[in-house]
Amino acid sequence: MFLTLVGRNCSGLLGKKSRLVRNALILGVALLVIVATAQPVGAQKVELLVDASKPGAKIDRNIFGQFAEHLGHGIYDGIWVGPDSTIPNTRGIRNDVVAALKTIKVPNVRWPGGCFADEYHWRKGIGPQRAVTLNPNWGGVIEPNTFGTNEFMDFLDQIGAEAYVSVNVGSGTPQEAAEWLEYMTTAQPTTLAKQRAADGHPAPYKVGFLGIGNESWDCGGNMTAEYYLSQLKIYSHFVRNFNPAQQEKQQMLKIAVGPGGDDPRFVDWTQTIMKAYQRHSWSWDINGLSMHSYTVGKWPPSYASVGFGETEYAQILKYTLDMEELIDKYSAIMNEYDPQKKVALVVDEWGAWYAPLPGSNPGFLVQQNSLRDAILASLNLNIFARHADRVRMANIAQMINVLQSMIMTDKEKMVLTPTYYVYKMYVPFQDATFVPVTFDAGVYTYGDVTLPRLDAIAARDTAGKLWLAITNVDPNHTAEIEVSFAGTSAKSAAGETLTAPKVDSVNTFDAPNTVVPRPITANVQGAKLTLKVEPKSVTVVSIVQ
Ligand code: AHR
Protein backbone atom coordinates (compact mmCIF):
# COMPACT_ATOMS: atom_id res chain seq x y z
CA MET A 1 0.00 0.00 0.00
CA PHE A 2 2.80 2.37 1.00
CA LEU A 3 4.73 1.65 -2.24
CA THR A 4 1.71 2.08 -4.49
CA LEU A 5 0.70 5.40 -3.02
CA VAL A 6 4.18 6.97 -3.13
CA GLY A 7 4.84 5.63 -6.68
CA ARG A 8 1.63 7.08 -8.05
CA ASN A 9 2.23 10.51 -6.63
CA CYS A 10 5.73 10.88 -8.06
CA SER A 11 5.90 8.91 -11.33
CA GLY A 12 5.13 11.74 -13.78
CA LEU A 13 7.97 13.92 -12.49
CA LEU A 14 10.90 11.52 -12.80
CA GLY A 15 13.09 9.98 -15.54
CA LYS A 16 13.88 6.21 -15.84
CA LYS A 17 17.15 6.38 -13.84
CA SER A 18 15.66 8.54 -11.17
CA ARG A 19 12.72 6.13 -10.97
CA LEU A 20 15.15 3.24 -10.29
CA VAL A 21 16.82 5.22 -7.53
CA ARG A 22 13.44 6.27 -6.20
CA ASN A 23 12.16 2.68 -6.19
CA ALA A 24 15.26 1.47 -4.37
CA LEU A 25 14.77 4.23 -1.80
CA ILE A 26 11.10 3.38 -1.37
CA LEU A 27 11.95 -0.29 -0.96
CA GLY A 28 14.52 0.62 1.69
CA VAL A 29 12.06 2.77 3.60
CA ALA A 30 9.37 0.10 3.33
CA LEU A 31 11.77 -2.54 4.65
CA LEU A 32 12.69 -0.26 7.54
CA VAL A 33 9.01 0.22 8.36
CA ILE A 34 8.43 -3.54 8.28
CA VAL A 35 11.48 -4.24 10.45
CA ALA A 36 10.44 -1.57 12.94
CA THR A 37 6.86 -2.77 13.26
CA ALA A 38 6.88 -6.54 13.01
CA GLN A 39 8.84 -9.58 14.11
CA PRO A 40 9.93 -12.18 11.59
CA VAL A 41 7.07 -14.50 10.64
CA GLY A 42 7.08 -17.88 12.39
CA ALA A 43 6.01 -19.43 15.65
CA GLN A 44 7.66 -18.36 18.89
CA LYS A 45 8.61 -20.98 21.47
CA VAL A 46 7.71 -20.32 25.10
CA GLU A 47 8.39 -22.60 28.06
CA LEU A 48 6.05 -22.46 31.05
CA LEU A 49 6.57 -24.01 34.47
CA VAL A 50 3.38 -24.65 36.43
CA ASP A 51 4.34 -25.18 40.07
CA ALA A 52 1.46 -26.86 41.86
CA SER A 53 3.61 -27.41 44.94
CA LYS A 54 3.32 -23.72 45.85
CA PRO A 55 -0.41 -22.90 45.84
CA GLY A 56 -1.29 -19.26 46.37
CA ALA A 57 -4.43 -17.40 47.41
CA LYS A 58 -7.99 -18.25 46.48
CA ILE A 59 -9.11 -16.41 43.33
CA ASP A 60 -12.32 -15.07 44.75
CA ARG A 61 -15.26 -15.70 42.45
CA ASN A 62 -16.29 -12.11 43.11
CA ILE A 63 -13.53 -10.79 40.86
CA PHE A 64 -15.84 -11.90 38.03
CA GLY A 65 -18.53 -9.49 39.27
CA GLN A 66 -20.60 -7.25 37.04
CA PHE A 67 -21.79 -3.65 37.19
CA ALA A 68 -25.26 -2.58 36.03
CA GLU A 69 -26.08 1.10 36.25
CA HIS A 70 -29.19 3.00 35.24
CA LEU A 71 -27.37 4.32 32.20
CA GLY A 72 -28.41 4.19 28.55
CA HIS A 73 -29.77 0.75 27.73
CA GLY A 74 -27.94 -1.01 30.55
CA ILE A 75 -31.08 -1.69 32.57
CA TYR A 76 -34.00 -0.68 30.37
CA ASP A 77 -34.01 -2.88 27.22
CA GLY A 78 -30.89 -4.68 28.43
CA ILE A 79 -32.46 -6.41 31.43
CA TRP A 80 -35.91 -4.98 31.87
CA VAL A 81 -38.51 -5.04 29.10
CA GLY A 82 -41.58 -5.19 31.35
CA PRO A 83 -44.07 -8.03 31.77
CA ASP A 84 -46.19 -6.88 28.82
CA SER A 85 -43.33 -6.97 26.33
CA THR A 86 -43.44 -9.29 23.31
CA ILE A 87 -39.79 -10.09 24.10
CA PRO A 88 -39.83 -13.34 26.10
CA ASN A 89 -39.49 -12.42 29.76
CA THR A 90 -40.11 -13.59 33.30
CA ARG A 91 -41.83 -10.90 35.35
CA GLY A 92 -40.42 -8.27 32.98
CA ILE A 93 -36.84 -9.58 32.89
CA ARG A 94 -35.46 -10.82 29.54
CA ASN A 95 -35.16 -14.60 29.37
CA ASP A 96 -32.36 -14.56 26.77
CA VAL A 97 -30.19 -12.28 28.91
CA VAL A 98 -30.86 -14.33 32.05
CA ALA A 99 -29.88 -17.58 30.28
CA ALA A 100 -26.66 -16.03 28.96
CA LEU A 101 -25.68 -14.63 32.36
CA LYS A 102 -26.40 -17.90 34.15
CA THR A 103 -23.88 -19.59 31.89
CA ILE A 104 -21.07 -17.32 33.05
CA LYS A 105 -22.03 -17.75 36.73
CA VAL A 106 -22.13 -14.06 37.60
CA PRO A 107 -21.20 -13.94 41.29
CA ASN A 108 -22.48 -10.44 42.10
CA VAL A 109 -23.97 -7.39 40.43
CA ARG A 110 -23.25 -3.84 41.55
CA TRP A 111 -26.35 -1.61 41.27
CA PRO A 112 -27.86 1.04 40.80
CA GLY A 113 -24.67 3.00 39.93
CA GLY A 114 -22.12 4.54 39.43
CA CYS A 115 -22.87 8.22 39.46
CA PHE A 116 -26.56 7.31 39.28
CA ALA A 117 -26.41 5.80 42.78
CA ASP A 118 -25.75 9.15 44.43
CA GLU A 119 -28.96 10.53 42.93
CA TYR A 120 -31.08 7.43 43.48
CA HIS A 121 -33.94 7.51 45.95
CA TRP A 122 -35.05 3.94 46.46
CA ARG A 123 -38.64 4.69 47.51
CA LYS A 124 -39.34 5.90 43.97
CA GLY A 125 -38.61 2.38 42.71
CA ILE A 126 -41.03 0.32 44.84
CA GLY A 127 -44.78 -0.22 44.96
CA PRO A 128 -47.46 -0.18 42.29
CA GLN A 129 -47.12 3.53 41.43
CA ARG A 130 -43.60 4.49 40.35
CA ALA A 131 -42.45 8.08 40.29
CA VAL A 132 -41.13 9.17 36.92
CA THR A 133 -37.88 11.05 37.45
CA LEU A 134 -34.85 12.12 35.44
CA ASN A 135 -31.38 10.69 34.93
CA PRO A 136 -29.30 13.90 34.85
CA ASN A 137 -25.95 12.09 34.74
CA TRP A 138 -26.65 10.03 31.68
CA GLY A 139 -28.31 11.93 28.87
CA GLY A 140 -30.93 13.68 31.03
CA VAL A 141 -33.46 11.07 29.97
CA ILE A 142 -36.61 9.92 31.77
CA GLU A 143 -36.07 7.39 34.55
CA PRO A 144 -39.33 5.44 34.82
CA ASN A 145 -38.26 3.66 38.02
CA THR A 146 -40.03 0.52 36.78
CA PHE A 147 -36.86 -1.40 37.61
CA GLY A 148 -36.37 -0.91 41.33
CA THR A 149 -35.32 -2.91 44.38
CA ASN A 150 -37.69 -5.87 43.93
CA GLU A 151 -37.01 -6.17 40.21
CA PHE A 152 -33.25 -6.06 40.86
CA MET A 153 -33.55 -8.80 43.48
CA ASP A 154 -35.74 -10.88 41.17
CA PHE A 155 -33.14 -10.49 38.42
CA LEU A 156 -30.37 -11.62 40.80
CA ASP A 157 -32.44 -14.58 41.85
CA GLN A 158 -32.97 -15.56 38.22
CA ILE A 159 -29.28 -15.41 37.35
CA GLY A 160 -28.04 -16.73 40.72
CA ALA A 161 -25.95 -13.71 41.75
CA GLU A 162 -25.50 -11.75 44.97
CA ALA A 163 -26.51 -8.13 45.51
CA TYR A 164 -23.92 -5.40 45.69
CA VAL A 165 -26.02 -2.34 46.52
CA SER A 166 -24.48 1.14 46.36
CA VAL A 167 -26.26 3.53 48.67
CA ASN A 168 -26.72 7.23 48.07
CA VAL A 169 -24.22 9.22 50.12
CA GLY A 170 -24.03 12.24 47.79
CA SER A 171 -27.63 13.48 47.80
CA GLY A 172 -29.27 11.06 50.22
CA THR A 173 -29.18 10.71 53.98
CA PRO A 174 -28.01 8.01 56.36
CA GLN A 175 -31.66 7.60 57.38
CA GLU A 176 -32.76 6.95 53.78
CA ALA A 177 -30.01 4.36 53.31
CA ALA A 178 -30.67 2.73 56.70
CA GLU A 179 -34.37 2.43 55.87
CA TRP A 180 -33.56 0.90 52.49
CA LEU A 181 -31.52 -1.79 54.21
CA GLU A 182 -34.27 -2.35 56.74
CA TYR A 183 -36.79 -2.65 53.90
CA MET A 184 -34.61 -5.21 52.14
CA THR A 185 -33.29 -7.26 55.04
CA THR A 186 -35.39 -7.35 58.20
CA ALA A 187 -37.37 -10.47 59.09
CA GLN A 188 -39.23 -8.65 61.85
CA PRO A 189 -42.73 -7.30 61.18
CA THR A 190 -41.75 -3.63 60.89
CA THR A 191 -43.71 -1.22 58.75
CA LEU A 192 -40.98 -1.42 56.10
CA ALA A 193 -40.94 -5.24 56.18
CA LYS A 194 -44.71 -5.21 55.74
CA GLN A 195 -44.26 -2.85 52.82
CA ARG A 196 -41.78 -5.32 51.27
CA ALA A 197 -44.27 -8.15 51.77
CA ALA A 198 -46.97 -6.05 50.14
CA ASP A 199 -44.54 -5.47 47.27
CA GLY A 200 -44.38 -9.24 46.79
CA HIS A 201 -41.47 -10.45 48.92
CA PRO A 202 -42.26 -11.41 52.52
CA ALA A 203 -38.88 -13.09 53.11
CA PRO A 204 -35.90 -10.82 53.76
CA TYR A 205 -33.42 -10.34 50.95
CA LYS A 206 -29.76 -11.04 51.27
CA VAL A 207 -27.47 -8.09 50.55
CA GLY A 208 -23.95 -9.43 50.27
CA PHE A 209 -22.15 -6.15 49.65
CA LEU A 210 -22.83 -2.55 50.54
CA GLY A 211 -21.12 0.24 48.60
CA ILE A 212 -20.96 3.39 50.73
CA GLY A 213 -21.02 6.05 48.02
CA ASN A 214 -19.49 6.09 44.56
CA GLU A 215 -16.59 8.26 43.42
CA SER A 216 -17.37 10.60 46.31
CA TRP A 217 -14.35 12.66 45.23
CA ASP A 218 -16.18 13.47 41.95
CA CYS A 219 -19.75 12.76 40.76
CA GLY A 220 -20.60 11.37 44.20
CA GLY A 221 -20.38 14.77 45.89
CA ASN A 222 -16.92 16.25 45.27
CA MET A 223 -15.95 15.52 48.85
CA THR A 224 -12.57 15.86 50.46
CA ALA A 225 -11.11 12.71 51.95
CA GLU A 226 -11.80 13.97 55.50
CA TYR A 227 -15.41 14.84 54.72
CA TYR A 228 -16.01 11.48 53.04
CA LEU A 229 -14.43 9.69 55.99
CA SER A 230 -16.90 11.34 58.39
CA GLN A 231 -19.78 10.20 56.13
CA LEU A 232 -18.31 6.72 55.84
CA LYS A 233 -18.26 6.30 59.62
CA ILE A 234 -21.89 7.40 59.89
CA TYR A 235 -23.15 5.17 57.06
CA SER A 236 -21.06 2.23 58.16
CA HIS A 237 -22.60 2.40 61.63
CA PHE A 238 -26.23 3.15 60.87
CA VAL A 239 -26.85 1.29 57.60
CA ARG A 240 -27.41 -2.14 59.07
CA ASN A 241 -28.19 -5.48 57.54
CA PHE A 242 -30.87 -7.23 59.63
CA ASN A 243 -31.14 -10.46 57.65
CA PRO A 244 -30.94 -13.13 60.40
CA ALA A 245 -29.16 -15.63 58.15
CA GLN A 246 -26.49 -13.09 57.30
CA GLN A 247 -26.06 -12.06 60.91
CA GLU A 248 -25.39 -15.65 61.87
CA LYS A 249 -23.04 -16.52 59.05
CA GLN A 250 -21.63 -14.20 56.46
CA GLN A 251 -21.90 -10.54 57.29
CA MET A 252 -22.57 -7.94 54.64
CA LEU A 253 -19.24 -6.63 53.39
CA LYS A 254 -18.99 -2.83 53.47
CA ILE A 255 -17.01 -1.18 50.72
CA ALA A 256 -15.66 2.35 51.06
CA VAL A 257 -14.89 4.70 48.20
CA GLY A 258 -11.21 4.49 47.32
CA PRO A 259 -8.95 5.81 44.57
CA GLY A 260 -9.88 6.40 40.94
CA GLY A 261 -6.81 6.02 38.77
CA ASP A 262 -3.36 7.44 39.15
CA ASP A 263 -4.04 11.06 40.18
CA PRO A 264 -1.68 11.98 43.08
CA ARG A 265 -4.61 13.12 45.26
CA PHE A 266 -5.69 9.50 45.63
CA VAL A 267 -2.59 8.66 47.63
CA ASP A 268 -3.81 11.00 50.36
CA TRP A 269 -7.39 9.71 49.96
CA THR A 270 -6.29 6.09 50.36
CA GLN A 271 -4.08 6.94 53.33
CA THR A 272 -6.86 8.87 55.03
CA ILE A 273 -9.33 5.98 54.82
CA MET A 274 -6.84 3.25 55.67
CA LYS A 275 -5.27 5.19 58.56
CA ALA A 276 -8.74 5.65 60.04
CA TYR A 277 -9.52 1.97 59.44
CA GLN A 278 -6.43 1.01 61.44
CA ARG A 279 -7.85 2.85 64.45
CA HIS A 280 -11.50 1.98 63.85
CA SER A 281 -13.73 1.20 66.80
CA TRP A 282 -16.59 -1.29 67.29
CA SER A 283 -19.04 1.21 65.88
CA TRP A 284 -17.81 1.34 62.29
CA ASP A 285 -15.92 -0.92 59.98
CA ILE A 286 -15.10 -1.57 56.35
CA ASN A 287 -14.25 -4.79 54.51
CA GLY A 288 -13.28 -3.34 51.18
CA LEU A 289 -11.83 -0.25 49.55
CA SER A 290 -12.98 0.38 46.02
CA MET A 291 -10.70 1.35 43.13
CA HIS A 292 -11.86 2.54 39.71
CA SER A 293 -9.63 2.35 36.68
CA TYR A 294 -10.75 2.44 33.08
CA THR A 295 -8.62 1.79 29.99
CA VAL A 296 -9.23 5.02 28.12
CA GLY A 297 -5.98 6.19 26.54
CA LYS A 298 -6.71 9.87 26.96
CA TRP A 299 -9.72 11.77 28.24
CA PRO A 300 -12.31 12.31 26.77
CA PRO A 301 -12.46 8.78 25.38
CA SER A 302 -11.52 8.96 21.71
CA TYR A 303 -10.29 5.50 20.70
CA ALA A 304 -12.68 3.77 18.29
CA SER A 305 -14.16 0.51 19.52
CA VAL A 306 -14.21 -0.96 16.00
CA GLY A 307 -12.54 -0.10 12.70
CA PHE A 308 -9.06 0.28 14.18
CA GLY A 309 -5.72 -1.27 13.33
CA GLU A 310 -2.68 -2.74 15.02
CA THR A 311 -1.47 0.65 16.29
CA GLU A 312 -4.57 1.16 18.43
CA TYR A 313 -4.58 -2.51 19.38
CA ALA A 314 -1.07 -2.26 20.79
CA GLN A 315 -1.65 1.12 22.44
CA ILE A 316 -4.83 0.15 24.27
CA LEU A 317 -3.32 -3.09 25.55
CA LYS A 318 -0.31 -1.16 26.77
CA TYR A 319 -2.59 1.25 28.65
CA THR A 320 -4.57 -1.57 30.20
CA LEU A 321 -1.47 -3.08 31.79
CA ASP A 322 -1.30 0.03 34.02
CA MET A 323 -3.83 -1.83 36.16
CA GLU A 324 -1.01 -3.85 37.70
CA GLU A 325 0.92 -0.74 38.75
CA LEU A 326 -2.17 0.83 40.26
CA ILE A 327 -2.98 -2.28 42.26
CA ASP A 328 0.61 -2.45 43.48
CA LYS A 329 0.59 1.23 44.39
CA TYR A 330 -2.63 1.18 46.41
CA SER A 331 -1.95 -2.27 47.89
CA ALA A 332 1.33 -0.91 49.24
CA ILE A 333 -0.55 1.86 51.07
CA MET A 334 -3.12 -0.63 52.35
CA ASN A 335 -0.34 -2.93 53.55
CA GLU A 336 0.96 -0.16 55.82
CA TYR A 337 -2.30 0.06 57.75
CA ASP A 338 -3.73 -3.40 57.16
CA PRO A 339 -0.85 -5.87 56.86
CA GLN A 340 -3.21 -8.77 57.51
CA LYS A 341 -5.13 -7.86 54.36
CA LYS A 342 -8.51 -7.82 56.05
CA VAL A 343 -9.70 -5.05 53.75
CA ALA A 344 -10.08 -6.15 50.14
CA LEU A 345 -9.13 -3.92 47.24
CA VAL A 346 -12.35 -3.96 45.22
CA VAL A 347 -11.86 -2.92 41.59
CA ASP A 348 -15.55 -2.24 41.17
CA GLU A 349 -15.32 -0.27 37.93
CA TRP A 350 -12.89 -1.28 35.22
CA GLY A 351 -12.84 -2.00 31.51
CA ALA A 352 -12.30 -0.26 28.20
CA TRP A 353 -13.94 3.11 27.66
CA TYR A 354 -13.92 4.18 24.01
CA ALA A 355 -15.56 6.92 21.93
CA PRO A 356 -19.34 6.53 21.70
CA LEU A 357 -20.49 4.74 18.55
CA PRO A 358 -21.38 7.27 15.84
CA GLY A 359 -25.09 8.08 15.93
CA SER A 360 -25.55 6.91 19.52
CA ASN A 361 -26.50 9.18 22.42
CA PRO A 362 -23.10 10.19 23.88
CA GLY A 363 -24.62 9.96 27.37
CA PHE A 364 -25.39 6.27 26.82
CA LEU A 365 -21.74 5.15 26.51
CA VAL A 366 -22.43 2.74 23.66
CA GLN A 367 -19.38 1.03 22.17
CA GLN A 368 -18.61 -2.13 20.22
CA ASN A 369 -16.71 -5.00 21.76
CA SER A 370 -13.95 -6.60 19.74
CA LEU A 371 -11.31 -9.29 20.00
CA ARG A 372 -9.06 -6.58 21.51
CA ASP A 373 -11.50 -6.36 24.42
CA ALA A 374 -11.37 -10.10 24.97
CA ILE A 375 -7.58 -9.92 25.21
CA LEU A 376 -7.86 -6.86 27.47
CA ALA A 377 -10.32 -8.67 29.75
CA SER A 378 -8.05 -11.70 30.09
CA LEU A 379 -5.02 -9.54 30.90
CA ASN A 380 -6.92 -7.75 33.67
CA LEU A 381 -8.46 -10.92 35.10
CA ASN A 382 -4.95 -12.39 35.19
CA ILE A 383 -3.70 -9.32 37.07
CA PHE A 384 -6.52 -9.67 39.60
CA ALA A 385 -5.73 -13.38 40.00
CA ARG A 386 -2.05 -12.63 40.63
CA HIS A 387 -3.11 -10.21 43.39
CA ALA A 388 -5.82 -12.49 44.75
CA ASP A 389 -4.63 -12.04 48.32
CA ARG A 390 -5.71 -8.37 48.22
CA VAL A 391 -8.01 -8.07 45.18
CA ARG A 392 -11.04 -10.11 46.19
CA MET A 393 -13.69 -8.44 44.12
CA ALA A 394 -13.95 -6.62 40.78
CA ASN A 395 -16.83 -5.43 38.63
CA ILE A 396 -16.41 -4.89 34.92
CA ALA A 397 -18.20 -1.85 33.52
CA GLN A 398 -20.80 -2.54 32.45
CA MET A 399 -22.82 -5.73 32.05
CA ILE A 400 -25.14 -4.95 29.13
CA ASN A 401 -25.10 -2.36 26.32
CA VAL A 402 -22.75 0.05 28.17
CA LEU A 403 -18.94 0.34 27.83
CA GLN A 404 -17.17 -3.06 27.84
CA SER A 405 -20.27 -5.17 28.04
CA MET A 406 -20.94 -8.91 28.10
CA ILE A 407 -24.09 -8.61 26.05
CA MET A 408 -25.57 -6.22 23.50
CA THR A 409 -29.28 -6.06 22.77
CA ASP A 410 -31.46 -4.30 20.25
CA LYS A 411 -35.14 -4.82 20.90
CA GLU A 412 -35.66 -8.62 20.57
CA LYS A 413 -32.10 -9.24 19.34
CA MET A 414 -29.20 -10.20 21.57
CA VAL A 415 -25.52 -10.85 20.85
CA LEU A 416 -22.76 -12.10 23.13
CA THR A 417 -19.53 -10.12 22.99
CA PRO A 418 -15.95 -11.41 22.83
CA THR A 419 -15.59 -10.27 26.47
CA TYR A 420 -18.53 -12.51 27.41
CA TYR A 421 -16.67 -15.51 26.04
CA VAL A 422 -13.60 -14.76 28.14
CA TYR A 423 -15.81 -14.73 31.24
CA LYS A 424 -17.31 -18.04 30.09
CA MET A 425 -13.91 -19.63 29.55
CA TYR A 426 -12.68 -18.36 32.93
CA VAL A 427 -15.57 -19.84 34.96
CA PRO A 428 -13.31 -22.65 36.30
CA PHE A 429 -11.09 -19.99 37.87
CA GLN A 430 -13.91 -18.84 40.16
CA ASP A 431 -12.85 -19.69 43.73
CA ALA A 432 -9.95 -21.76 42.38
CA THR A 433 -6.58 -21.70 44.14
CA PHE A 434 -3.88 -19.74 42.38
CA VAL A 435 -0.96 -21.84 41.12
CA PRO A 436 2.23 -19.98 40.11
CA VAL A 437 3.36 -20.11 36.48
CA THR A 438 6.80 -18.91 35.46
CA PHE A 439 7.81 -18.09 31.91
CA ASP A 440 9.75 -15.66 29.82
CA ALA A 441 6.96 -13.69 28.14
CA GLY A 442 9.16 -12.18 25.46
CA VAL A 443 8.07 -8.93 23.88
CA TYR A 444 5.64 -7.82 21.24
CA THR A 445 6.58 -4.53 19.61
CA TYR A 446 4.53 -2.42 17.28
CA GLY A 447 5.69 1.06 16.36
CA ASP A 448 6.82 2.66 19.62
CA VAL A 449 4.78 0.31 21.80
CA THR A 450 6.39 -2.67 23.47
CA LEU A 451 4.54 -5.04 25.75
CA PRO A 452 4.83 -8.61 27.00
CA ARG A 453 3.99 -11.00 24.20
CA LEU A 454 2.41 -13.63 26.41
CA ASP A 455 0.54 -13.87 29.68
CA ALA A 456 -0.57 -16.92 31.64
CA ILE A 457 -2.14 -17.94 34.93
CA ALA A 458 -2.92 -21.33 36.41
CA ALA A 459 -5.21 -22.48 39.20
CA ARG A 460 -6.62 -25.58 40.84
CA ASP A 461 -10.41 -25.57 40.91
CA THR A 462 -12.59 -26.55 43.85
CA ALA A 463 -12.78 -30.14 42.48
CA GLY A 464 -8.98 -30.39 42.31
CA LYS A 465 -8.61 -30.02 38.53
CA LEU A 466 -5.77 -27.90 37.16
CA TRP A 467 -6.49 -25.07 34.69
CA LEU A 468 -4.17 -22.96 32.57
CA ALA A 469 -5.10 -19.73 30.79
CA ILE A 470 -2.76 -18.34 28.14
CA THR A 471 -3.10 -15.02 26.35
CA ASN A 472 -1.08 -14.53 23.20
CA VAL A 473 -1.01 -10.74 22.79
CA ASP A 474 1.07 -10.87 19.61
CA PRO A 475 -1.30 -10.55 16.65
CA ASN A 476 1.27 -11.84 14.15
CA HIS A 477 2.84 -14.93 15.65
CA THR A 478 1.64 -18.25 16.94
CA ALA A 479 3.22 -19.26 20.25
CA GLU A 480 4.45 -22.82 20.63
CA ILE A 481 3.91 -23.53 24.30
CA GLU A 482 5.72 -26.24 26.22
CA VAL A 483 4.50 -26.68 29.78
CA SER A 484 6.44 -28.49 32.52
CA PHE A 485 4.94 -29.26 35.90
CA ALA A 486 6.23 -29.33 39.46
CA GLY A 487 4.23 -30.87 42.27
CA THR A 488 1.86 -32.53 39.83
CA SER A 489 1.85 -34.28 36.47
CA ALA A 490 -0.29 -34.25 33.34
CA LYS A 491 -1.96 -37.19 31.62
CA SER A 492 -4.06 -35.36 29.10
CA ALA A 493 -5.39 -31.91 28.37
CA ALA A 494 -8.22 -30.27 26.48
CA GLY A 495 -9.09 -26.69 25.86
CA GLU A 496 -10.52 -23.94 23.76
CA THR A 497 -9.25 -20.79 22.13
CA LEU A 498 -10.87 -17.47 21.42
CA THR A 499 -9.54 -15.64 18.40
CA ALA A 500 -10.76 -14.08 15.16
CA PRO A 501 -9.44 -12.90 11.80
CA LYS A 502 -8.73 -9.31 12.88
CA VAL A 503 -7.81 -7.41 16.02
CA ASP A 504 -11.07 -5.49 15.67
CA SER A 505 -13.29 -8.44 14.79
CA VAL A 506 -16.65 -8.17 16.53
CA ASN A 507 -19.83 -10.16 16.93
CA THR A 508 -22.93 -8.52 15.50
CA PHE A 509 -26.62 -9.37 15.53
CA ASP A 510 -26.23 -10.59 11.93
CA ALA A 511 -22.90 -12.36 12.42
CA PRO A 512 -22.82 -13.43 16.08
CA ASN A 513 -20.18 -16.15 15.77
CA THR A 514 -17.13 -14.29 14.48
CA VAL A 515 -15.41 -14.27 17.87
CA VAL A 516 -16.39 -17.45 19.69
CA PRO A 517 -14.26 -20.08 21.43
CA ARG A 518 -13.24 -23.14 19.44
CA PRO A 519 -11.67 -26.40 20.67
CA ILE A 520 -7.89 -26.79 20.40
CA THR A 521 -5.58 -29.73 20.59
CA ALA A 522 -3.12 -30.04 23.43
CA ASN A 523 -0.67 -32.94 23.59
CA VAL A 524 0.81 -34.55 26.63
CA GLN A 525 4.00 -36.52 26.11
CA GLY A 526 6.23 -37.67 28.89
CA ALA A 527 5.90 -35.04 31.56
CA LYS A 528 5.24 -32.17 29.15
CA LEU A 529 2.20 -30.53 27.69
CA THR A 530 2.54 -28.86 24.31
CA LEU A 531 0.11 -26.72 22.43
CA LYS A 532 0.10 -23.98 19.83
CA VAL A 533 -1.72 -20.81 20.69
CA GLU A 534 -2.81 -18.65 17.81
CA PRO A 535 -1.85 -15.00 17.40
CA LYS A 536 -4.14 -12.56 19.32
CA SER A 537 -5.90 -15.26 21.28
CA VAL A 538 -7.08 -16.31 24.71
CA THR A 539 -6.79 -20.03 25.47
CA VAL A 540 -7.98 -21.99 28.48
CA VAL A 541 -6.86 -25.59 29.01
CA SER A 542 -7.95 -28.14 31.59
CA ILE A 543 -5.29 -30.61 32.61
CA VAL A 544 -6.08 -34.13 33.72
CA GLN A 545 -3.50 -35.33 36.26
O1 AHR B 1 -19.37 3.56 34.38
C2 AHR B 1 -19.68 4.85 34.03
C3 AHR B 1 -19.33 5.85 35.13
O4 AHR B 1 -17.95 5.89 35.32
C5 AHR B 1 -19.87 5.57 36.50
O6 AHR B 1 -21.19 5.98 36.67
C7 AHR B 1 -18.95 6.37 37.37
O8 AHR B 1 -18.83 5.82 38.66
C9 AHR B 1 -17.65 6.37 36.62
O10 AHR B 1 -17.09 7.61 36.53
Q: What is the pLDDT of residues 408-458, one digit of tens each?
A: 999 999 999 999 999 999 999 999 999 999 999 999 999 999 999 999 999
Mean pLDDT, rounded, for 68-75: 98
For residue 197, give every residue at least 6 positions away whose Cβ sits within 8 Å of its Cβ, in sequence order, or none: none
The dihedral sign for the CA sequence 256, 257, 262, 266: negative
Residue 28 pLDDT: 42
Q: How many whole angstroms from 36 Cα to the centroid of ligand 1? A: 38
More confident residue, 33 or 70: 70
Indicate whether residue 69 lines ligand 1 (CB < 6 A). Answer: yes
- 3-state SS, one letter per residue, for 519-544: EEEEEEECCEEEEEECCCEEEEEEEE
Q: pLDDT category, 267, cuts 50, 70, 90? A: very high
Q: Whose CA is nearest to atom 4 of ligand 1?
A: 114
Q: What is the pLDDT of residues 101-140, one digit of tens each?
A: 999 999 999 999 999 999 999 999 999 999 999 999 999 9
Amino acid at 44: Q
Q: Where are the beta strands (DSSP E) in 168-266?
A: 209-212, 253-256
Q: Is 237 left (phi over 0), alpha (psi -120 to 50) or beta?
A: alpha
Q: How many whole angstroms from 190 Cα to the centroid of ligand 1? A: 35
- Catalytic-role residue among 215, 310, 312, 534: 215
Q: How many whole angstroms from 107 Cα to the centroid of ligand 1? A: 21
Orientation of helix 265-278 relative to helix 225-238, angle to 10°? 40
For residue 496, give every residue at least 6 positions away whose Cβ sits within 8 Å of its Cβ, in sequence order, or none: 425, 517, 518, 519, 520, 539, 540
In the annotation, is 215 catalytic?
yes
| pLDDT of 294 higher than 60 | yes
Rounded CA gap, 542 and 545, in Å? 10
Residue 246 pLDDT: 84
Amino acid at 214: N
Q: What is the pLDDT of residues 368-410, one digit of tens each?
A: 999 999 999 999 999 999 999 999 999 999 999 999 999 999 9
Q: Whose CA is nearest to atom 9 of ligand 1?
A: 114
Q: pLDDT category, 250, cuts 50, 70, 90? A: low
| pLDDT of 197 higher than 70 | yes
Indicate whether residue 115 lines ligand 1 (CB < 6 A). Answer: yes
Residue 19 pLDDT: 40
Nearest atom in ligand 1 to 220's CA: 8
| pLDDT of 27 higher than 80 | no
Nearest atom in ligand 1 to 137's CA: 6
Indicate whether residue 215 lines ligand 1 (CB < 6 A). Answer: yes
| pLDDT of 21 higher than 70 | no
- Catalytic-role residue among 119, 162, 182, 349: 349
Indicate whether residue 397 lines ligand 1 (CB < 6 A). Answer: yes
In the annotation, is 179 catalytic?
no
Q: How many whole angstroms from 114 Cα to the centroid of ligand 1? A: 5
Indicate whether residue 114 lines ligand 1 (CB < 6 A). Answer: yes
Indicate whether residue 214 lines ligand 1 (CB < 6 A). Answer: yes
Question: Which of 110, 263, 292 for mutating ligand 1's site (highest number of atoms within 8 Å of CB)?
Answer: 292
Indicate whether residue 349 lines ligand 1 (CB < 6 A). Answer: yes
The dihedral sign for the CA sequence 378, 380, 384, 386: positive
Quick one: which H or E segment has residue 93? strand 93-94
Q: Whose CA is nearest to atom 8 of ligand 1?
A: 114
Question: Residues 214, 398: contact at Cβ < 8 Å?
Answer: no
Most distant CA pair in the chain, distance = 97
Residue 344 pLDDT: 98
Residue 41 pLDDT: 53
By three-state DSSP, how is residue 84 classified? coil
Q: Whose CA is nearest to atom 2 of ligand 1?
A: 114
Q: How many whole angstroms from 299 Cα to the centroid of ligand 1? A: 14
Q: What is the pLDDT of residues 300-355, one digit of tens each?
A: 999 999 999 999 999 999 999 999 999 999 999 999 999 999 999 999 999 999 99
Q: How many whole angstroms from 394 Cα to the centroid of ligand 1? A: 14
Q: Whose CA is nearest to atom 5 of ligand 1?
A: 114
| pLDDT of 29 higher than 60 | no
Mean pLDDT score across all residues of the chain: 92
Q: How many whole angstroms from 378 Cα to the centroid of ligand 1? A: 21
| pLDDT of 530 higher than 60 | yes
Quick one: which H or E segment has residue 345? strand 344-352
Instruction: Kindly state the percentage of the chain with pLDDT values over 70.
Output: 92
